[in-house]
Amino acid sequence: MAKIKPFKAVRPAPDKVALVTCRTYDDYSSAELAAWLNFNPYSFLHVIHPAYANAQKVSLEKRFKAVANKYQDFKHDQILIEEEHPVFYLYEIQSKGQTFTGIIAGTSVKDYQNNVIKKHEDTLQYRVELFKDYLHQTNFNTEPVLITYPDSVAINTFIALRKQSEPIYEYSTTNKEKHILWKIDTQSEIDWLQEHFENIPNLYIADGHHRSASAELLFEQDKHLGNENLNYFMSFLIAESNVKIYEFNRLIRDLNGLSKDNFIKKLSEHFVIVAKDQEIWKPQNKFEFGMYLDGSFYALFYKKENHQQASILDNLDAQILYDKVLFPLLGIEDLRNDERIDYIPGKQSISVIKDLIDEGEFEVGFMLYPSDINEIKALADNNLIMPPKSTYIEPKFRSGLVVYEL
C-alpha cells in the first residue's frame, strides 16, 4: 500500500511564475546560464547558483549556505509564497506532441525503505551523500522524484474532472512548453486520493534515484529531531502509460586498438550485420542496434540463438551491448566513469552522433532501442539494476515551481 501526503508547499507568486521557474541547472550551457542570471532577477537560478555573480570557487558548505540565504531572500521579497495549508497539486506539461499530467505529493521514506516504492537504477554513494548534505544545509528541495503508478480509471477520471476547474498557474516557457498547475486542497479530494493510492501495491521510480536515496539518508541522520517533513520526499506521480522513455545512445572515442575490419569481424560473432552506407538507420525493435563507423551506418541484429530467456537483465539491450561489445571488445568496464564513452539522449537526432564522429572526437557510435515500462518494472520487481545511462525519461520538472521544505 502506497502512502502519499499533502504538504505545505512554497511556490512562486502568480504574477512571476513564468519568470521564476527554470530548467534543471545542468541543462543550461554557460552562455544560457549567464544570460538568465544577468537579465532575469526573478529566475530560480539565482537561488540554486548564488555564487555566479562573483565567479569564485567556494567550499560546498559556503555554497549551500548561500543557496539557503538566497532562498530566504526570495521568500522575504514575496517572489516565493507559502501555502496556508497542506495541499496536493495536479500538474500538466504540454510539449510538442506530448502531454504529461500527474500529481505532486509527498511520498513515504518508509515505503521507499520497505520496497513499496521500487527502484531499477544503482546510485553513486558520493552523489547521494552530497545531495543529502545539500538538503540538510538548505532545508528545501524543488526537484521531485518522478514516480509511476499503474494506470487507474478512477484516478484518470478524477484528473480529467479536476482539469476542468480554474488553475492557479497557466503559462508558457521559452522552450515552447505550456505548464498548468491546479491546487487540490479540499479535504474530501485529499482523502479520496490518499485512499486510492493506498490501494496501489507498488510505485516505481522512473527518474530521481539519487534524490530518493538522499532523502532516506537525511531521514536516518536527522530523524531524532522529530521533523515530520523528513518522513516524506516530494514526488511527481504519473500514470505509467503517460511517461516517455528514450534510450541513451553511446559514443566511443576509439576501437581499443582494433582495426575497423577486425572489430566488425568480432561483432559478427554475436550480431548479423547489415551495411546501410549513408542511410541513417535506428533500431526498430528490441535486440536491434544501430552503429555508425567510418562514415557508414550499420544495422546490428542480435542473433536469436544468443537470446537469454532465463534472465531479464541479460535480455536488456543496454546490458547486451555492454556484455558483448563495450566491455569485451572495447575495454570499457566502468560505464559511469570511463572517459572513452559518452552518452546522447535518444530524443536528440542521430545526425548529432554522425557529426561528432565525422568531426573526429569519437570513432564509433551505437544507437539502442528504448526500454518500455514493463521491462523497467520487471527489473525492479526482481531487484535487478539497469546499467548506467539506460533510460532518459520524461517529463522533466521545472525548478522553483513547487518547493518542499524540510
d(CA 138, CA 67) in angstroms, rounded, equals: 6
d(CA 186, CA 167) in angstroms, rounded, equals: 15
The distance from CA 305 to its chain's CA centroid, rounded to whole angstroms, is 35
What is residue 163's three-state secondary structure?
coil
Residues 6+ positions from 125 with CB-CB distance below 8 Å: none
**Residues counted in the chain:** 406
For residue 249, the model assigns a pLDDT of 97
CATH for 247-371+378-385 is 3.30.1760
Please report the sign of the dihedral spanned by the C-alpha atoms of residue 318, residue 320, residue 324, residue 328. positive
What are the grid coordinates assigned to 390, written together? 539506460
What are the grid coordinates assigned to 199, written together? 490501494
For residue 50, the model assigns a pLDDT of 75
Contact 5, 86 (CB under 8 A): yes
Contact 7, 229 (CB under 8 A): yes
DSSP 300-359: EEE-GGG--SS-TTTT-HHHHHIIIIITTTT----TTT-TTEEEEETTS-HHHHHHHHHT
Residue that is written with C-alpha cell 553511446 in the block: 250
For residue 53, the model assigns a pLDDT of 47
The residue ranges of every structural domain in the chain are 4-244+394-405, 247-371+378-385
Contact 83, 404 (CB under 8 A): no
Please report the sign of the dihedral spanned by the C-alpha atoms of residue 248, residue 309, residue 328, residue 206. positive
Q: Which residues pair with 88 in a beta bridge?
A: 184
Q: Which amino acid is at 294?
A: D
d(CA 263, CA 397) in angstroms, rounded, equals: 41
With a cut of 70, which residues of the chain have pLDDT below it? Answer: 51-57, 306, 308-310
Contact 142, 44 (CB under 8 A): yes
Contact 404, 139 (CB under 8 A): no
Residues 6+ positions from 299 with CB-CB distance below 8 Å: 273, 274, 276, 281, 283, 288, 289, 290, 291
Residues 6+ positions from 370 with CB-CB distance below 8 Å: 245, 246, 247, 346, 391
pTM: 0.93
